[in-house]
Structure 1
Amino acid sequence: MKAHKAILVTENGETYYGWSFCQSLTSLGEIVFNTGMTGYQEVITDPSYSGQIVNFTYPEIGNTGINNDDVESGMPLLNGIITKNICINPSNWRLNQSLISYMKEKKMMHIYGIDTRKLTKYLRSHGTMYGCISTEILEPRSLRLTMLNEIPLAKTQLKDSVINASTSTSYHLSKIKPYYPCYYQSSQQKDNLLKNLTVIVIDFGVKYNILRNLSKYIKNVIVVPASTNSKRILEYKPDGVLLSNGPGDPENVQYAVSNVLDLMEAKVPLFGICMGHQIISLALGLRTFKLRFGHRGLNHPVGLGKTISISSQNHGYAIKMDDKKLRCVKITQFNGNDLTIAAISHKSYPFFSVQYHPEASPGPHDSETLFLHFIRVIELINRYPVIV
């Protein structure tokens, strides 16, 4: 297993020297950082990182290798990873292959051996920016010039990142294998009473664990492409619609905003997660803005008043505070770190959304009950339709 010299150059000229197991590759993307101490496999396969290069602040990844259970999508869509160390000899009872062999198999560009804490501090001070990892162009100035020429095309491609991350065809969700930790006894694995409901998931880059959580409670889950129009969605006669997470700028997904407006007119219960939260907010007349360096980690406090939950987050945009536009909306949670909006609920209709990930894979399970809350909202509307 031979390592090759590699360099990382940022768009404003910062250069880091390291190593990579990929030979003769160059990859460009927006550099973001994730502060989680675990869950690198779920991060790597999260479609919300499409087109980005992820800098892991935890100093060593790959210790437990890669298994078949913890993937969050069919294939990784990110453009590279940055880490201090990569474990060469992983060990875990669920191990299927090493992280190194996985990255080589997926042709995933990476660099290791650099000071990731220094890079993270730099991004916190200067904001997220484009960067380029290469094992074929090892002269920083030449690599930076190449990168600067390609950034406009990369930004254009990012506008289609939701379409690239979404399913191309609609499908009924079949049974997803549940994951129970090894310390669970069979007596603890109580079967849930499945509700005879139909929920449509609009796939902007959905994570498998969102679908896994829905399938625990709902018999009929249908996943549709991001571009599916509202008329087609309503033909399914849905009891509710979940708007999934996804990559990129929500302002680029205006077709989805238009479809959600139609669904709101039909008073269909809506639940938005991350990108879905932003699209619901845009449909309600709010606006988004780009965060300086985003929220990407497993320990973000969210809450209101004296109530706090710990959440998993992965997003680069947030909702603007606008008192005039918030008249029909109740803010139900703020982010405890920077007081950005973390969750909203419509004051009159069954629409609510969260900026974080209640399926939390990886991350804490404080907010997992939101899926049950969604079901209770649906059942309430079915029982008392006159209220809407």
Structure 2
Amino acid sequence: MELHDIWLYFEHGVLIKAKGFGAKGTSIGEAVFNTSLSGYQEIISDPSYAGQFIVFCMPEIGIVGCNEKDMESRQAFAKGVLIRNLSNIKSNFRATENLDSFFRRHNLIGICNVDTRSIVKMLRDNGAMMMIASTQMQTREELCSVLQKAKKIHEINYVQEVSTKENYIHDCSIFNFKNFDYEKIDINDKDRKKIIAIDYGIKRNILNELTRAGLVVEVVNEDFNPHDLIKRYEAKEIGGIFLSNGPGDPLFLQNQIKKVKVLIKTKIPMFGICLGHQILSNAHGFPTYKLQFGQHGGNHPVKNYSDNTLEITSQNHNYNVPESICEVATITHRNLFDNTIEGVQYKDSPIFSVQHHPEASPGPKEASTLFTKFAKIVTSTL
């Protein structure tokens, strides 16, 4: 594996020379840190990271290698990845390529031999910030000039980039460790009820969990026609709508918010995760706000007020719903790190949502019962 020189410049003035791997060129995005200790391929291929550089707290990355079955989407949409030490070998019998090969194939900029601990502390103290990484430019002045002219992440609709181009039926369920593949489901099974999943940047393992809960999942592009979905619901062709995770600032997605407002009026059962959770809040008239550095990682404790239990969760978000949401919804979950809202059940409506990722890929599985909850609601409507 041959490394090359690469220069990093952060918007508050820090310039760093590091080593690069994967693709060469220039990339601009928002830097955030992730505290997960495993599952780097699932994290990198999560579409919610579109427009962002991922700074891994875990110092050693690459030893597990990569394979197509662990992809969370059709490609990696992140702007780049910063790691401390890059493994020169892959040591896992499921691996088909190393991280360098994976990055080159996905045209993704990799950055290593950099003090990630220092960068994480910088982001912790100053908040998520824009940065530029380049193998083509070296001087502070040139990097600063290009970065200043670039659009901020909250000015770009990354949902349009990551959403599926063609609607499809998802027919895979839980991963089978006997043959290391995903089990297929019978989409013609009359006992399975159909839902629509709005793809704002959906992860494959969310779809797997929905099908595992007994649902047939039709995935549609983010620019859907809400009136068509209402007609299908009234005809009992579908029993509910799932709003997926995804990238970017939810307040920038005014077109998507308007569509969800139409759906809310009809009281169609809906379940939202992450960006879907935020869009539902905005559609109900309660604007989201940006956290200082967000929540990105595994093993985040969340209090579930519905049964008074503690759930260890996976997180990936920069934005949050406001406390005023309690005017129209009951707060069902809170983050025990910062006490922010992690879940709500809307009053007098079959709509609920969570900020964390109950599909747990990577991460724990305590919150996966939410998919079963949604399936029971859908079944009762058909």
Report the TM-score, using the length of structure 1 for normalisation: 0.90
Is the partner of 1:146 in helix, strand or coil?
Answer: helix
Q: What is the identity, as a one-letter code, of the residue corresponding to 1:166?
A: S
- Alignment of structure 1 residues 115-194 onto 2, 5 Å: 115-149=115-149, 151-152=150-151, 154-155=152-153, 158-173=155-170, 175-176=171-172, 178-181=174-177
More displaced stretch, 215-224 vs 162-171 = 215-224
Shift of 1:315: 0.6
Shift of 1:354: 0.2
Q: Is the 8 A contact 1:50 1:247 kept in 2?
A: yes
**Distance in structure 2 (CA, Å) of the matches to 1:24 and 1:105:** 12
Q: What is the identity, as a one-letter code, of the residue corresponding to 1:223?
A: V
1:367 aligns with 2:364: no
- Alignment of structure 1 residues 243-258 onto 2, 5 Å: 243-258=243-258
CA deviation map 1:117-165 (0-9, x unaligned): 110000010011111111221223322222222x23x547x53211111
Q: Partner residue of 2:226?
A: 230
Q: What is the identity, as a one-letter code, of the residue corresponding to 1:19?
A: K
**Distance in structure 2 (CA, Å) of the matches to 1:231 and 1:378:** 19
1:72 aligns with 2:72: yes
Q: Partner residue of 2:30?
A: 30
Shift of 1:255: 2.1
More displaced stretch, 107-116 vs 232-241 = 232-241
Q: Is the 8 A contact 1:22 1:135 kept in 2?
A: no
Q: Partner residue of 2:192?
A: 196
Is the partner of 2:372 in helix, strand or coil?
Answer: helix
CA deviation map 1:183-205 (0-9, x unaligned): 99xxxx9x999843110000100
Shift of 1:91: 0.8
1:221 aligns with 2:217: yes
CA deviation map 1:329-385 (0-9, x unaligned): 100011111111100001211100000111111111111111001011223344xxx
Q: Partner residue of 1:46?
A: 46
**Distance in structure 2 (CA, Å) of the matches to 1:130 and 1:369:** 37
Is the partner of 1:21 in helix, strand or coil?
Answer: strand
Q: Is the 8 A contact 1:45 1:75 kept in 2?
A: yes
**Distance in structure 1 (CA, Å) of the matches to 2:71 and 2:138:** 33
Q: 1:47 to 1:268 in 2, by over 3 A?
A: same
Q: 1:90 to 1:29 in 2, by over 3 A?
A: same
Structure 1 gaps of 5+ residues are 383-388
1:317 aligns with 2:319: yes
Q: 1:235 to 1:320 in 2, by over 3 A?
A: same
**Distance in structure 2 (CA, Å) of the matches to 1:278 and 1:19:** 37
Q: Partner residue of 1:386?
A: none
Q: Is the 8 A contact 2:23 2:108 kept in 1?
A: no
Q: What is the identity, as a one-letter code, of the residue corresponding to 2:322?
A: K
**Distance in structure 2 (CA, Å) of the matches to 1:19 and 1:163:** 32
**Distance in structure 2 (CA, Å) of the matches to 1:331 and 1:371:** 18
**Distance in structure 2 (CA, Å) of the matches to 1:242 and 1:22:** 35
Shift of 1:16: 2.0
Q: Partner residue of 1:207?
A: 203
CA RMSD of aligned residues (A): 2.1
Is the partner of 1:27 in helix, strand or coil?
Answer: strand
Shift of 1:182: 5.6
**Distance in structure 2 (CA, Å) of the matches to 1:298 and 1:195:** 35
Shift of 1:219: 4.9
Shift of 1:179: 1.3
**Distance in structure 2 (CA, Å) of the matches to 1:162 and 1:226:** 7
**Distance in structure 1 (CA, Å) of the matches to 2:5 and 2:328:** 56
Shift of 1:212: 0.8
**Distance in structure 2 (CA, Å) of the matches to 1:23 and 1:170:** 31
More displaced stretch, 346-355 vs 253-262 = 253-262
More displaced stretch, 252-261 vs 15-24 = 15-24
Q: Partner residue of 2:94?
A: 94
Q: What is the identity, as a one-letter code, of the residue corresponding to 1:230?
A: P
- Alignment of structure 1 residues 263-282 onto 2, 5 Å: 263-282=263-282
Q: Partner residue of 1:377?
A: 377
Report the identity percentage.
37
CA deviation map 1:236-291 (0-9, x unaligned): 33201000000011111222222222222222110000000011111222120001
1:300 aligns with 2:300: yes
More displaced stretch, 243-252 vs 13-22 = 13-22
Q: What is the identity, as a one-letter code, of the residue corresponding to 1:360?
A: A
Q: 1:77 to 1:23 in 2, by over 3 A?
A: closer
Q: Is the 8 A contact 1:50 1:78 kept in 2?
A: yes
**Distance in structure 2 (CA, Å) of the matches to 1:195 and 1:273:** 25
**Distance in structure 1 (CA, Å) of the matches to 2:160 and 2:100:** 29
Shift of 1:217: 3.2
Q: 1:23 to 1:236 in 2, by over 3 A?
A: closer
Q: What is the identity, as a one-letter code, of the residue corresponding to 2:226?
A: S
Is the partner of 1:69 in helix, strand or coil?
Answer: helix
**Distance in structure 2 (CA, Å) of the matches to 1:32 and 1:371:** 28
**Distance in structure 2 (CA, Å) of the matches to 1:293 and 1:183:** 40
Q: What is the identity, as a one-letter code, of the residue corresponding to 2:212?
A: K
Report the TM-score, using the length of structure 2 for normalisation: 0.92
